Structure 1
Amino acid sequence: MQNIVDFVLELDKLKQVTRKTRVLNSDRYENSAEHSWQIALLASSLAPYAVEAVDMDRVVAMLLVHDIGEIETGDTIVYAESGWEERKAQELACVTRIFGMLPAEQGQRLLALWNEFEAAETAEARFAHAADRAMPVLLNLANNGQSWRENGIRHQQVVDRIGPPVRHGCPALWDYLESRLAMAKEKGWLA
């Protein structure tokens, strides 16, 4: 029991990882724990739009663990163009340590989910990636492009980075986002 309690208390650190997008109707930036919770619910809500049958329990579990490595690395804006290999290696070391706090079978199961998400080769991982990539876009659209404007993000950067995983994991969601991104560009929210 103590190992599980220690693990859950270690996860509390994810609440301190500040992201680049503000929560709606607030000057406060969201944290990675809030992001994980919100995309898990987004994915659950989008289940009827999955391009292929998915095990939603696996999808939600992946989304709940996918950013735990940020406890040690912090958040990097999704549009960053370099440093991803080093960052992912650091995240893997972090999640290996944290999942190692659990009894072996539980820790291995969570590490396998984290690795499955990173590889993005299963239907569940592709669907999880679609939700993960879409949520910051949805927040930016609702916040008049707040994070895009603050970070000088260009329309083509969003399309190139967000389009493929969303289109691959949930085409209906990409259809929805694509027209809204064009509107955001027209409004000057994207460089």
Structure 2
Amino acid sequence: MTPENLMKQIDFIKEIDKVKYIQRKTKLFNSNRNENDAEHSWHLAMMAMVLAEHSNMPVDLLKVIKMVLIHDIVEIDAGDTFIYDVQKNHSNTEEERLAAQRIFGMLPGEQSEELIAIWEEFEAGETHEAKFARTMDRLEPLLQNTSNNGGTWNEFGVSYEKVYEKKSIMNEGSAAIWKYAEQLINESLERGILKKG
């Protein structure tokens, strides 16, 4: 490893510290404090480690962990888009792609190419690893909102139908986790912390 590569890596490490300042809409479990992107990514990595046995298909766990750790780094430039935002689509945008190229591009060639490819694979959501990683990404805020009596659902007037639609993608990564999540969504409706539109 050359000193030049080391300096590029250090610059990248300093740059991604900004992820700690990106506030998400969801709040920590049983809390009024908003979660930040770094906390979210760490939690997803732990969830992937613990829940991997429930994936529909065998997955490369290290790749899944890489995906969930880097998937929101682009928000340093692009900002956090709330999954239920009605103005801005919560899908891969050109803004996020440019952010991925700039931020991961700070790294030496091979590392840069690897992280961009992993980020793109997550966004495409077609491989077993991406499907399972996206299941983790959808499960965590569901658990947070149910622990906070509806949390962001109530705060932003999100309907049962919209939650169900956005969360059902979990079935692609884990039928078992989706079955559990679906039960939580339906129980939330019964409890009145989630309402039909």
| TM-score, structure 1 normalization | 0.95
Q: Using the alignment, how far apart are the partners of 1:87 and 1:114 within structure 2? A: 10
Runs of 4+ in 1 over 3 A off after TM superposition: none
Of 166, 179, 186, the residue aligned with 2:190 is 186
SS at match of 1:20: strand
SS of the residue aligned with 2:24?
Answer: strand
Q: 1:145: Cα distance to partner?
A: 1.1
Please tell me whether the aligned partners of residues 18 and 74 of structure 1 are also in contact (alpha carbons under 8 angstroms).
no
Q: Which of 31, 47, 54 is equivalent to 1:49? A: 54
- Pairing partner for 1:68 from 68, 73, 76: 73
How many angstroms apart in 2 are the aligned matches of 1:86 and 1:110? Answer: 19
What's 1:127 paired with? 132
Aligned-pair CA distance for 1:86: 8.2
Residue type of the alignment partner of 1:148: W
Distance, in Å, in 2 between the alignment partners of 1:154 and 1:144 is 14
Residues in 1 aligned to 2:17 and 2:185: alpha-carbon distance in whole angstroms: 34
Q: What does residue 11 of structure 1 align with? A: 16
* Percent identity of equivalent pairs: 42
Partners of 2:90 and 2:134 in 1: how far apart?
18
Pick the aligned partner of 1:107 from 108, 112, 115: 112
Taking a change above 3 Å as real, the CA distance of residues 152 and 117 of structure 1, as seen in their structure-2 partners, is same
Please tell me the residue identity of whatever aligns with 1:69: V
Residue 181 (structure 2) pairs with residue 177 (structure 1): yes
**Bigger helix share:** 1
Shift of 1:26: 3.0
Q: What amino acid is aligned across from residue 62 of structure 2 in structure 1?
A: D
SS in 2 for 1:128: helix
Q: Tell me what 2:32 maps to.
A: 27
The aligned residue for residue 170 of structure 2 is 166
> Per the alignment, in what secondary structure is the counterpart of residue 58 of structure 2?
coil
The answer to whether the 8 Å contact 2:20/2:38 transfers is yes
Distance 1:87 1:128, change over 3 A: closer
- C-alpha displacement at 1:170, in angstroms? 0.8
Deviations 1:87-128 (A, max 9, x none): 621111111101111101000000000000011111000110
CA contact (8 A) 1:43 1:128 kept: yes
Structure 2 residue runs of 5 or longer lacking an equivalent are 1-5
Confirm or deny: 8 A CA contact 1:73 1:87 kept in the other structure: no
CA RMSD of superposed structures (Å): 1.4
Distance 1:149 1:132 in 2: 20
Query: Secondary structure of 1:84's partner?
Result: coil
The one-letter code of the counterpart of 2:157 is G
Gaps of 5+ in 1: none
Aligned: 1:117 with 2:147: no
Partner amino acid for 2:184? R
